[in-house]
Amino acid sequence: MPDSDIRLRFSPAPTGYLHVGGARSALFNWMYARHTGGTMVLRVEDTDADRSRPELIDAIHDSLGWLGIDWDEEYRQSDRFDQYRAAAASFLDQGLAYRCDCSQDDVKARNDARADGVTGYDGHCRDRNVQPGEGVVVRFRTPDEGVTGWDDLIRGRVEFENAVLEDFVIVRSSGVPLFHVANAYDDLDMNITHVVRGEDLVNTTPRVLLMRAALIAGGHVPAVGGEPVAQPIYAHLPLIVNEQRKKLSKRRDDVAVGDYRAKGFLPEAMRNYLLTLGWGPKDGEEIRPIEEFVEVFELSDINKAPAFFDVKKLEHFNSEYIRALPLDEFIALATPHLGDIDTELFARLAEPVQGRVKRIEEAPNFLQWIVGDAPEPEAKDWKKVMGKDKVSEVLDLVIARLADCDWNPETLEALVFGVGEELETKTQLPVRLALTGSRAGIPLFEPMAEMDRAVVIGRLTAARAKLDAAPNDADGPTS
RNA sequence: GCCCCCAUCGUUCAGUGGCCUAGGACACUGCCCUUUCACGGCAGGAACACGGGUUCGAAUCCCGUUGGGGGUGCCA
């Protein structure tokens, strides 16, 4: 049971997978619902039969669930068409709406003929008393004067002149109501007290407010809680933008929550990062348990300016969360990504990997060289490491001693470092590069001991041969 | 075109008239730790878009300019 009468809703349209913008809207709604002990409603806005895909509802549930965002009630607008039609009918009865048989071409042609540059619907059918029929829509008649506005929790007072609001369509010619009628009706009927959504919806707000007033005037009583309030409290979230500062688009940007999940981001990291886009705790501690954020979260503290979705910073959050994982959990999460790497082998070497990955998916990259061929070293790495003095001697000596030494990490480390002491040089880097193909990586000797002696010697010998092929050539083999 | 909105380091959050010679985080650079990398530590560069007001005092309030974004569908 909720501790307060506060009710919020997240209203996705199932026309695509849940993307990061939607996820953040859902998150902010959820944060405030949990902060206030209110009710979180999930309302699927599937009024557009052509674009809605029912199977995507499951995908949205999945993504939300993955992020740990839960809800207390769920509705589908497609179950409620009759109620929206009744609402539209009441507008018609009240003289607040009328039927219109103008085609879109008609409207456009009339606008083109005008000199004043006005582009919206011109009210042509307002008094024509059009009867129901083919190609007939219902339009809401907007007032000719006055203003419609609200006090936005994030943006302050926002007002629109009613005169600039065109008579908009509320019922399609197919008889199916449009989203904003559904929106106005449901927010009232479900007694939503706080509407938290993206800034791209600001301009539909006056329409919704006008219809809400008409609904209340028509005597509609909310199904929940009884008393209708004149207006819910609105909070329009700043958009999440791409590097071009444009609203994130499913087309050009990589934004589906499911994609981030697949790439090895942890839900806690994703949620935590999303929360810092447009909002931040006063004390600056931005990575911490969600409960602590819930406690201090306030809608009115949200920023007005759009925020760029920075994958680099997300990765930082993610590596923090990965490092905080119990080792066995990390192993369990990484195992599906292993490919041809043996799970037992991985389990033995998982700890140093855990400390280095930014995304779970990267785990095998740190071990691939053990089971497969070592990648060709980068030319500049080769030059930097193999161009040094004494490298040939180091490799020769290591190769020779590897032939019949004990085969365990301690012995191998002592052997390689021992050569270094004898020759008064550092030996790890050339051995590492020859073995792994890279200058960077997990500590060397544990994984080295996991390999076959012959393979190790083979790789070192090959590197040594490469040195011979380009003697005293600091530019290395690729020059 | 019309309507609405936004503007602090490269990015993000803090800052709500004096505590700001503007702080934290990410990214970047250098040093330390370490015979690799990463982690960690230290240091560094880096911003109040511009112009006018208001005020004893402005990143914070007002106006304008510039720049950016959103909307302008029988999509949501």
Please count the helices (runs of H) and the strands (runs of E) in chain A: 19, 12
In this prediction, residues A155-178 reach a mean pLDDT of: 94
What are the tokens at A476?
């290395």
Q: How far is the CA of A244 from the C1' of B10 (A)?
A: 13
Q: How far is the CA of A243 from the C1' of B33 (A)?
A: 36
Contact between A192 and A33 under an 8 Å Cβ cutoff? The reply is no
Residue A478 clears pLDDT 70, i.e. is over it = no
Q: How far is the CA of A282 from the C1' of B12 (A)?
A: 14
Does any strand B atom come closer than 7 Å to the Cβ of A162? no
How confident is the model at residue A476, as a pLDDT? Answer: 42
Q: How far is the CA of A320 from the C1' of B45 (A)?
A: 26
DSSP designation for A264 = T
- The residues that bridge with A98 in the sheet, in sequence order, are A139
For the residues of A146-199, what is the DSSP string, one character each? SEEEEEETTTEEEEEEGGG----EEE-TTSPBPHHHHHHHHHHHTT--EEEEEG
In chain A, which residues from 290 to 309 place their CB closer than 7 Å to nucleic acid strand B? Answer: 301, 303-308
How confident is the model at residue A3, as a pLDDT? Answer: 78
ipTM rounded to 2 decimals: 0.95
Q: How far is the CA of A303 from the C1' of B20 (A)?
A: 21
DSSP designation for A223 = T
- CA of A444: nucleotide with nearest C1': B36
How confident is the model at residue A477, as a pLDDT? Answer: 42
Q: What is the pLDDT of residues A226-283, one digit of tens each?
A: 788 999 999 999 999 998 999 988 877 878 999 999 999 999 999 999 999 999 998 8
In this prediction, residues A403-418 reach a mean pLDDT of: 96
| Of residues A235, A237, A245, A243, the one with CA closest to residue A275 | A237
| Residue A122 pLDDT class (50, 70, 90 cuts) | confident
Q: What are chain A's domains?
A: 1-76+238-324 (3.40.50.620), 332-370 (no CATH), 379-469 (1.10.10.350)
- CA of A14: nucleotide with nearest C1': B76
CA separation for the pair A154, A136 (Å, rounded): 39
Does any strand B atom come closer than 7 Å to the Cβ of A70? no
Residue A91 clears pLDDT 50, i.e. is over it = yes
Does any strand B atom come closer than 7 Å to the Cβ of A19? no
Contact between A420 and A391 under an 8 Å Cβ cutoff? The reply is no
How confident is the model at residue A474, as a pLDDT? Answer: 47
DSSP designation for A360 = G
CA separation for the pair A445, A37 (Å, rounded): 54
Residue A475 clears pLDDT 80, i.e. is over it = no
How confident is the model at residue A391, as a pLDDT? Answer: 94
Handedness of CA A353, A357, A361, A367 (dihedral sign): negative
Which residues lie below 8 Å from residue A82, measured CB to CB, with a gap of 6+?
A: none
In this prediction, residues A51-80 reach a mean pLDDT of: 96
| Residue A479 pLDDT class (50, 70, 90 cuts) | very low
Does any strand B atom come closer than 7 Å to the Cβ of A426? yes
DSSP designation for A74 = E
Instruction: Name the residue closest to B4, CA to C1'.
Output: A203
Which residues lie below 8 Å from residue A233, measured CB to CB, with a gap of 6+?
A: A151, A153, A193, A194, A195
Highest mean pLDDT among A117-126, A346-355, A387-396: A346-355
Does any strand B atom come closer than 7 Å to the Cβ of A13? yes
Q: How far is the CA of A303 from the C1' of B50 (A)?
A: 23
Q: Which nucleotides of B are covered by protein (CB under 7 A)?
A: 1-8, 10-16, 23-27, 35-39, 68-76
Supply the pTM of this predicted model: 0.93
Q: How far is the CA of A168 from the C1' of B47 (A)?
A: 44
> Residue holding tokens 């007032």?
A143
DSSP designation for A336 = G
DSSP designation for A256 = B
> Residue holding tokens 């999460």?
A333
- CA of A284: nucleotide with nearest C1': B24
In chain A, which residues from 333 to 372 place their CB closer than 7 Å to nucleic acid strand B? Answer: 355-356
Does any strand B atom come closer than 7 Å to the Cβ of A388? no
Q: What is the pLDDT of residues A9-58, one digit of tens each?
A: 999 999 999 999 999 999 999 999 999 999 999 999 999 988 999 999 99
Instruction: Name the residue closest to B74, CA to C1'.
Output: A172
Instruction: Determine whether A472 is exposed, middle or buried from the number of CB atoms within 10 Å of its CB (0-12, 13-18, 19+).
Output: exposed
DSSP designation for A376 = P
> Residue holding tokens 């019949």?
A404
Does any strand B atom come closer than 7 Å to the Cβ of A119? yes
Highest mean pLDDT among A48-52, A60-64, A129-133, A284-288: A60-64
Q: What percent of chain A has pLDDT over 90?
A: 84
Instruction: Name the residue closest to B37, CA to C1'.
Output: A440
Other CB atoms within a 10 A radius of the CB of residue A361 amount to: 16
Handedness of CA A372, A374, A376, A380 (dihedral sign): positive
How confident is the model at residue A211, as a pLDDT? Answer: 97
Contact between A274 and A280 under an 8 Å Cβ cutoff? The reply is no
CA separation for the pair A44, A182 (Å, rounded): 11
Q: What is the pLDDT of residues A420-461, one digit of tens each?
A: 999 999 999 999 999 999 999 999 999 999 999 999 999 999
| Of residues A184, A193, A212, the one with CA closest to residue A153 | A193
How confident is the model at residue A471, as a pLDDT? Answer: 52
* Least confident residue range of A82-86, A463-467, A473-477: A473-477
